[in-house]
Structure 1
């Protein structure tokens, strides 16, 4: 089996290509990205291609690679002040990937959806399965874009029944090597990465109502591998236990928590975002506060998948990566420590 992975040099991509290359049933892995990395992974080839409309003939790329499966991970988080730019890449570019798969007669498409595609969760807080509505939160570009692609794939599946389409909807993905990238994407320069270590931060804000699910990126990569090689279709939730909150994070950092009303947190974030001090938008905080909890039973039953580490351990790896300024030898994952050297 030959597999092409878009967005192969990011947080998820570097783990996914490694997992695919380790599977003996997969004979070739081609990772494509806008910029060719220096990272060397045995069994993985690299190619440059941009998914933005008009930038590359993706059908030719897929056909030239003899792709049996395409794993679509490419995503643009910034500039958050220009939602048209992210829509062009994330929505129009993704549609281009899907249609290129059809033209190249790719047998399997595995799309990186997200917990962010889901509508706000039920009032009673019960975990939801894959049947929960995927209309996203309209106030954030990320959730709007993920939800729109869910609707597009609904129609795409009907018009291309010969193609096996899988949608993976993971919770927040963390690993040590992606910590510097995630700090740049969401916190920007205001987060002092050298100070993120146990015992150095006296207190953390505990935003009221904030709880979240997480997963180590390498565990998510195993689910992507399984989705490629197993004859499954449709959506799968991916999460690890336990459900987390800021008290959990504070415990990892040996800090105390300071209660912060959600409205106050949003006001502070909105002001910082308007002044271009942080990349994360206030709409993204609104979305996170409304995310449902996910039930990953279908992934366990049909993919044969269970996470190998807990959500707490995944966040601990991320925290360690923040303090170390960790990264990998790809343009998106460039380590913070390299920038300071």
Structure 2
């Protein structure tokens, strides 16, 4: 099939990255038009994209796909922050129920030929037992019991089910590493924007990033390439948290994990930063993913390495220090002694990993 005059529907366009993906796709000469869908209108310029107000949790989405003659769906509305969704239950409903309804609508669309889903490397989790690099066939070392990681795993399961039922549709799952860039607002970027950055004592996690521009490019590439499969997408190389802190030129304060957790809940209730259990584990154990398949099969090469993506994010941030550092040092003095970690099968288990996740 030639790729002339494609009609692309993009979900989640009220969020900045969804809106920008829709605009980037609309700029592609092989695309005839782009329909952006969300329950609330986007803030910011939609360019050539026509906006349709529709909630993907509602079966009406099937009518939009049929009426607009959509042949390509880009699902961008799996979200990572309960705050922006109005609480964890709404977030789960948008992510999981929304995806189920969207796939049911896709199932009924005979003209559909391509489905691209933006997923996340968060689904691999982060633990002390992780491999050096996760390949796409590996499972997380502990299945996520709550939060965004669990949503992502469920969403991917439904998408794979859809791919089996509709073998005529090219289904591409893009497992993106943490997206960074000057315009990205996410739990991780708000953490790095703190005037003093709390880190977990005794841990220097490896991190991988994907530049916001490369996310737009990989979605465009996936639509054009029509290569089915699941792909880890990340900039080349890894950055240790300590290296990231030096590049930011912001003071960091190493605290016991329980104290970082407490600082996190304080920042979360003050709506300064969104410290999820997933973010805490990432900042403790880090995560690396193998991107061989992205290059060899999908044929995509990011423009920014992990280090370059982070440098571009950090560039506009002013160095901080002095007063904020003294305040945090005083806070640290008044924190209670951390609970001792319980030994479990020869491995020390930090307090926040015990029992259920507080998602």
Shorter-chain TM band: 0.7 to 0.9
Aligned to 2:33: 28
RMSD, aligned α-carbons: 3.0
TM-score, normalised with respect to structure 2: 0.75
Structure 2 distance, partners of 1:320, 1:268, is 26
CA 60–320 in structure 1, closer or farther in 2 if over 3 Å, else same: farther
CA offsets 1:289-324 (integer angstroms, 9 cap, x no match):
45641111111122221111222332233335666x
Matches within 5 A, 1:60-75: 60-75=63-78
Larger radius of gyration between Structure 1 and Structure 2: 2
The match for 2:7 among 2, 5, 11 is 2
What stretches of structure 2 of length at least 5 have no aligned partner? 1-5, 319-359
Q: Secondary structure at the match of 1:176?
A: coil
TM-score, normalised with respect to structure 1: 0.79
Task: Answer yes or no: is 1:155 the counterpart of 2:161.
Answer: yes
The match for 1:173 among 143, 163, 179 is 179
CA 285–32 in structure 1, closer or farther in 2 if over 3 Å, else same: same
Structure 2 distance, partners of 1:46, 1:184, is 29
Answer whether contact 1:70 1:110 (CA < 8 A) is retained. Answer: yes
Task: Answer yes or no: is 1:130 the counterpart of 2:136.
Answer: yes
CA 41–322 in structure 1, closer or farther in 2 if over 3 Å, else same: farther
Aligned to 1:205: 198
Matches within 5 A, 1:244-259: 244-259=239-254
Aligned to 1:317: 312
Aligned to 1:296: 291
The match for 1:102 among 93, 102, 107 is 107
Deviation at 1:41, TM superposition (A): 4.8
Task: Answer yes or no: is 1:285 the counterpart of 2:280.
Answer: yes
CA 281–42 in structure 1, closer or farther in 2 if over 3 Å, else same: closer
Across the two proteins, how many residue pairs are aligned to each other?
308
Answer whether contact 1:71 1:110 (CA < 8 A) is retained. Answer: yes
CA 184–231 in structure 1, closer or farther in 2 if over 3 Å, else same: closer
Aligned to 1:327: none
Answer whether contact 2:115 2:171 (CA < 8 A) is retained. Answer: yes
Answer whether contact 1:2 1:26 (CA < 8 A) is retained. Answer: yes
Matches within 5 A, 1:201-240: 204-207=197-200, 208-240=203-235
Structure 2 distance, partners of 1:2, 1:166, is 17
Structure 1 distance, partners of 2:44, 2:251, is 39
CA offsets 1:219-245 (integer angstroms, 9 cap, x no match):
012111111111311101100133123
Structure 1 distance, partners of 2:276, 2:231, is 27
Deviation at 1:32, TM superposition (A): 1.8
Answer whether contact 2:205 2:282 (CA < 8 A) is retained. Answer: no
Structure with the larger RCO, 1 or 2 (CA within 8 Å, 6+ apart): 1
CA 266–218 in structure 1, closer or farther in 2 if over 3 Å, else same: same
CA 292–316 in structure 1, closer or farther in 2 if over 3 Å, else same: closer
CA offsets 1:255-297 (integer angstroms, 9 cap, x no match):
4544333343224324554677653233541356456411111
What stretches of structure 1 of length at least 5 have no aligned partner? 324-341
